């Protein structure tokens, strides 16, 4: 399942991470702050996975990194560490970051008059990161 989901899953994750903006549900400064925090945490989780899986940093150091850099509390940190350490799920943390960046870039580049077309394109087919 992980292998099959690897290609379209990147864009699907980006759609999820961009949902508030896609449906234009940004109502106030609190929403703007939440969006910024979510983007930061996606990047932090990706880096944390890299630190654990590739750089073999100790877990205590990575926990501290997530807390300090991602402004995170223990339940969030525990979830990220658990995912990062998982042999199949850990590598997918990068897909969350890159999916978010890809969908965000396309969304921001879409002119208002073409937005309905963009939504149809976004939801109407399976995408790879490269093809998107």
* The pLDDT of residue 6: 63
Q: Is residue 56 situated within a structural domain?
A: yes
Per-residue pLDDT of the chain (132 residues; tens, 9 = 90+): 555 566 678 888 889 999 999 998 999 999 999 999 999 998 999 999 999 999 999 999 999 999 999 999 999 999 999 999 888 788 778 888 888 999 999 999 999 999 999 999 999 988 877 788
Residue 53 vs residues 27, 45, 101, 102, 104: alpha-carbon distances, Å: 38, 12, 22, 24, 27
Q: What is d(CA 39, CA 108) in angstroms, rounded to the nearest whole number?
A: 15
* The pLDDT of residue 54: 92
Q: Is residue 85 situated within a structural domain?
A: yes
Q: Is residue 130 situated within a structural domain?
A: no
Q: Is residue 131 situated within a structural domain?
A: no
Q: Is residue 115 situated within a structural domain?
A: yes
The total domain count for the chain is 1
Residues contacting 45, CB < 8 A, separation 6+: 66, 70, 80, 83, 84, 93, 96, 97
Q: Is residue 22 situated within a structural domain?
A: no
pTM of the model: 0.80
* The pLDDT of residue 91: 78
List the domain range (segments joined by +) for residue 39: 27-124
Q: What is d(CA 93, CA 86) in angstroms, rounded to the nearest whole number?
A: 11
Residues contacting 78, CB < 8 A, separation 6+: none
Q: Is residue 129 situated within a structural domain?
A: no
- Please count the other Cβ atoms lying within 10 Å of the Cβ belonging to residue 111: 8
Q: Is residue 40 situated within a structural domain?
A: yes
């Amino acid at each position: 399942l992980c292998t099959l989901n690897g290609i379209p899953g990147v864009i699907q994750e980006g759609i999820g991470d961009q949902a508030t903006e896609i449906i234009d549900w940004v109502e106030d400064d609190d929403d703007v702050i939440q969006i910024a925090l979510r983007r930061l945490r996606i990047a932090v989780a990706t880096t944390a996975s890299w630190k654990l899986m590739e750089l073999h940093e100790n877990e205590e150091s990575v926990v501290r990194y997530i807390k300090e850099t991602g402004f995170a509390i223990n339940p969030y940190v525990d979830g990220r560490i658990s995912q990062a350490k998982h042999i199949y799920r850990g590598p997918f943390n990068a897909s969350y970051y890159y999916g978010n960046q890809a969908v965000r870039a396309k969304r921001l580049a879409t002119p208002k008059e073409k937005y309905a077309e963009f939504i149809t394109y976004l939801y109407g087919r399976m995408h790879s990161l490269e093809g998107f």
